[in-house]
């Protein structure tokens, strides 16, 4: 078991990658064997993620160097800098890894029935596994170039999956927009990486964090990194592509795309706190993130109330909720290096990070319920729905759980993270809390509107003959709902075991650098 | 494992809320049980009574999504007009926004770096 854990950082990326290439081969012979391979590989990857998380909680940061005599030997003998590909997994990386493993497994199970009537399923699952490998790579990589490579893998697979249902014109348009936006963002990340490489002759994040000077070129590189990742997360005013792409993808993929947004958010945090942590103008960058985060919350929710397409409605809510995370972590960044960090900054960051976990449970769940509505009715148009609770009892209950959670209604998990954000950011600036509460009220109002439109009322004649969605779709939704219930019941356990270590990992830049550079023989 | 969430000044116990909800649910159930015993499902007893007026068909009486929160949208008409105008759906515009925001951010960071 110890040997397995030692190799786990690369295995977690390699297993879905290898399974992706095996999927079309096995799928040609048997679809059942292919499905078993997909679910089996994702389950095993999830098992490794949890085993690695346990190891990190006991032994600290896990460094894995490819091609070295010992995985922890990041800097080869006779060298002063790391030259090999290094994976570095700390509390923050594994936190995102846990989220990604749970949601990707739930999405794959959900997909078994959701795309059962579509052609090209081998390609679908191949792309899904590639996307999973890309996501894990982004979270675990210790160098900037591989961050770009894994970002591209996840983006290209994501774009193809958005356009998977070729029978609809809007899916092709959505896929095209996603690919263009991702390519531009990816290019900017590559450009920024090039700027740093030209100055410091290295791509390793830990080494760069140690030597970075914050020159004018570094400042421009920071802007490129931040805005590129902000666009990928759908931060206002760069969110315009987000509903166009997310609303047309198969629901299982939309759930996963939400987590790729989280992966880009992770990358932005890593750049701000770890790479630039020692030199950044924290107050200025923190305030930029806070202001844009507030805009993201407000514009996202007001546009969501306006929507009549159930998936666009949920996409705008995803944007709005991402704003909470930006605000929480932005406050932590703004007070970095001041006494206020210990007073409330760490709690604000913890609230933002906790909200990422909660969002990763309820948002894919809500997208899955949206997908279930589409599966049942054949439309995303809420004006054509009504009375569906009569036939879709499971979906109705799961939608209510997701709605109460996203709206921050006690006792569900969304409330735990929101109260942590509200009470900590209030001490930084009360206006942030007021905006947060107003956005929460609007969130509840809009979900109530959608609930009434789709589920309530008398049974409509056109939907009388139908029946609830297949079991695998329900199982996919129940996995996420179970996650919500667990976090609801044990918020303290989650915060102490996962959230605080993740926030501390971001704040402790020295530990991240030492884990790689301290290995010099 | 504890149900209590205590992060310094944030205290929260979901178990108390769950117990409160369960108690309320039991009380509601108790009141429901005291209701009319002679009720028979799928009979005329279950038909909607609308002051003697003819009851419209299910699809006609369902309040659709476009009719909810009309006052809210009417009040914020100008805001939504501007917001819809920005959401053009054209990818060129999206990239233009990206370029503009990147340039502004870079200028702010460089100036802040000089001043700091």
Q: Per residue, what are the HEC states of A177-236? A: HHHHHHHHHHHHHHHHHHHHHHHHCCCEHHHHHHHCCCCHHHHHHHHHHHHHHHHHHCCC
Tell whether B92 is within 8 A of chain A (Cβ): no
Task: Say if residues A294 and A435 touch (Cβ distance below 8 Å).
Answer: yes
d(CA A451, CA A441): 15
The answer to whether the Cβ–Cβ distance between A420 and B7 falls below 8 Å is yes
- Confidence label for A417 from pLDDT (cuts 50, 70 and 90): very high
Region of A67 please: left (phi>0), alpha (psi -120 to 50) or beta.
left
- Residue B103 CA to residue A83 CA, distance in Å, equals 33
* pLDDT tier at A195, thresholds 50, 70, 90: very high
Chain B, nearest residue to A224 by Cα: B102
Judged by a CB distance cut-off of 8 A, whether residue B78 touches chain A is no
Exposure letters A354-378 (e unless 16+ CB within 10 A, then b) = bbbbbbbbbbbbbbbbbbbbbbbbe
Token output for A21: 């290439």
Question: How many cross-chain Cβ pairs, A to B, lie less than 8 Å apart?
Answer: 157
Going by their DSSP bridges, the two strands B5-7 and A62-65 should be labelled as unpaired
pLDDT at residue A520 in the model: 45
Burial A77-107 (b: 16+ CB within 10 A, else e): eeeebbbbbbbbbbbbbbbbbbbbbbbbbbb
The predicted pLDDT at position A521 comes to 40
Whole-angstrom Cα distance, residue A404 to residue A389? 17
Confidence label for A517 from pLDDT (cuts 50, 70 and 90): confident
ipTM (interface predicted TM): 0.90
Chain B stretch 25-64, residues whose beta carbon is closer than 8 A to a beta carbon of chain A? 57-59, 61-64
What's CA A237's distance to the chain center, in Å?
A: 19
Tell me which chain B residues have a C-beta less than 8 angstroms from the C-beta of A416. 5, 12, 14
Cβ–Cβ under 8 Å, residues A460 and A389: no
- Inter-chain residue contact B12 with A460, CB threshold 8 Å: no
Angstroms from A282 CA to nearest CA on chain B? 10
For A221-238, what is each residue's pLDDT tens digit? Answer: 999 999 999 999 999 999
Question: What pLDDT, in 10s, does the model give residues B67-107?
Answer: 889 999 999 999 999 999 999 999 999 999 999 999 999 99
Phi/psi of residue B66, each to 5°? -70, -20
Residue in A214, A450, A460 closest to B59 by CB = A460
Is B105 in contact with A302 (Cβ distance < 8 A)?
no
> DSSP string spanning B34-102?
TS-TT--TTSGGGS---TTSPPPPHHHHS--GGGTTHHHHHHTHHHHHHHHHH----HHHHHHHHHHHH
Domain ranges of chain A: 281-489
pLDDT in tens, A126-167: 999 999 999 999 999 999 999 999 999 999 999 999 999 888
Q: Which residue in A276, A122, A143 sits closest to A212, CA to CA?
A: A276
Q: Which residues in chain B are closer than 8 Å to A245, comparing Cβ atoms?
A: none
- Smallest CA–CA separation between A129 and chain B, in Å? 28
Please answer yes or no on whether B3 and A492 come within 8 Å at the CB atom: yes
- Number of structural domains found in chain B: 1
> Whole domain around residue B66: which residue ranges?
5-115
Give the mean model confidence (pLDDT) for residues A167-174.
89
Out of B3, B88, B94, closest to residue A489 by CB: B3
Residue B38: predicted pLDDT: 80
Give pTM, 2 decimals: 0.92
Which positions ≥6 away from B75 have C-beta within 8 Å?
A: none
Nearest chain A residue (CA) to B74: A306
Query: What pLDDT sits at residue A340?
Result: 80
pLDDT, one tens digit per residue, over A96-124 is 999 999 999 999 999 998 888 888 899 99
What is the overall mean pLDDT for chain A?
Answer: 93
- Computed over every residue of chain B, the mean pLDDT equals 88
Report the share of chain A in percent with pLDDT over 90: 84
Select from A193, A298, A167 the least CA-distant residue to A239: A298
Range in A235-244, A484-493, B57-66, B70-79 the model is least confident about: B57-66
Question: What value does the mean pLDDT take over residues A40-68?
Answer: 94
Q: Which of B14, B88, B91 sits opposite A489 (nearest CB)?
A: B14
Contact present, A94 and A120 (Cβ < 8 Å): no
Q: Look at residue B1 in the predicted model and tell me its pLDDT.
A: 57
């Amino acid at each position: 078991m110890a040997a397995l854990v030692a190799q786990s950082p690369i295995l977690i990326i390699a297993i879905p990658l290898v399974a992706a290439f095996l999927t079309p081969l096995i799928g040609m012979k048997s679809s059942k064997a292919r499905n078993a391979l997909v679910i089996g590989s994702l389950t095993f990857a999830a098992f490794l993620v949890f085993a690695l998380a346990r190891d990190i909680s006991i032994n600290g940061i896990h460094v894995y160097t490819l091609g070295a005599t010992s995985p922890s030997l990041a800097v080869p003998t006779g060298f002063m800098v790391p030259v090999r590909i290094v994976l570095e997994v700390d509390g923050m990386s594994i936190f995102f890894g846990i989220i990604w493993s749970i949601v990707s497994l739930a999405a794959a199970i959900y997909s078994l029935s959701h795309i059962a009537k579509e052609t090209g399923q081998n390609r679908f699952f191949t792309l899904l596994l590639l996307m999973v490998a890309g996501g894990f790579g982004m979270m675990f990589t210790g160098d900037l170039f591989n961050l770009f490579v894994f970002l591209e893998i996840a983006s290209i697979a994501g774009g193809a999956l958005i356009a998977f249902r070729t029978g609809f014109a809007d899916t092709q348009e959505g896929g095209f927009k996603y690919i263009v936006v991702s390519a531009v963002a990816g290019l900017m990340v590559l450009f920024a990486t090039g700027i740093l490489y030209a100055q410091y002759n290295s791509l390793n994040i830990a080494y760069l964090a140690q030597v970075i000077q914050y020159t004018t070129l570094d400042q421009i590189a920071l802007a490129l990194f931040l805005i590129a990742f902000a666009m990928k997360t759908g931060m206002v005013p760069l969110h315009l592509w987000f509903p166009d792409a997310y609303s047309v993808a198969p629901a299982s993929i939309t759930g996963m795309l939400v987590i790729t947004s989280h992966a880009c958010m992770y990358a932005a945090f890593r750049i701000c706190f770890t790479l630039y942590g020692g030199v950044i103008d924290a107050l200025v960058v923190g305030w930029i993130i806070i202001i844009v985060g507030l805009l993201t919350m407000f514009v996202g929710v007001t546009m969501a109330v306006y929507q009549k397409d159930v998936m666009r409605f949920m996409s705008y809510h995803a944007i709005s909720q991402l704003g909470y995370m930006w605000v929480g972590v932005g406050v932590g960044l703004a007070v970095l290096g001041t006494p206020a960090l210990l007073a409330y900054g760490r709690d604000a960051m913890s609230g933002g990070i906790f909200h990422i976990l909660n969002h990763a449970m309820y948002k894919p769940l809500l997208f899955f319920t949206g997908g279930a509505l589409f599966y049942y009715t054949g439309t995303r148009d809420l004006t054509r729905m009504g009375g569906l609770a009569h036939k879709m009892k499971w979906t109705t209950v799961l939608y209510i759980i997701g709605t109460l959670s996203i709206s921050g209604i006690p006792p569900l998990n969304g409330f735990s993270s929101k109260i942590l954000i509200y009470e900590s950011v209030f001490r930084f600036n009360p206006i942030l809390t007021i905006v947060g509460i107003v956005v929460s009220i609007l969130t509840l109002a809009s979900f109530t509107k959608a609930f009434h439109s789709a589920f309530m009322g008398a049974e409509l004649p056109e939907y009388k003959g139908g029946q609830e969605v297949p079991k695998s779709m329900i199982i996919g939704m129940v996995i996420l709902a179970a996650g919500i219930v667990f976090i609801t019941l044990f918020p303290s356990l989650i915060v102490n075991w996962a959230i605080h270590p993740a926030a501390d990992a971001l704040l402790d830049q020295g530990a991240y650098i030492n884990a790689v550079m301290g290995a010099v023989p | 494992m504890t149900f209590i969430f205590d992060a310094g000044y944030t205290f929260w116990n979901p178990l108390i809320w769950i117990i409160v909800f369960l108690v309320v649910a039991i009380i509601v159930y108790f009141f429901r049980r005291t209701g009319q015993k002679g009720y028979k499902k799928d009979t005329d007893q279950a038909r909607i009574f609308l002051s003697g007026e003819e009851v419209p068909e299910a699809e006609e009486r369902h309040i659709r999504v476009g009719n909810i929160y009309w006052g809210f949208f009417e009040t914020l008409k100008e805001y939504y007009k501007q917001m819809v105008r920005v959401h053009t759906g054209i990818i060129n515009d999206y990239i233009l926004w990206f370029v503009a925001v990147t340039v502004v951010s870079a200028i702010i960071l460089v100036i802040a770096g000089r001043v700091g």
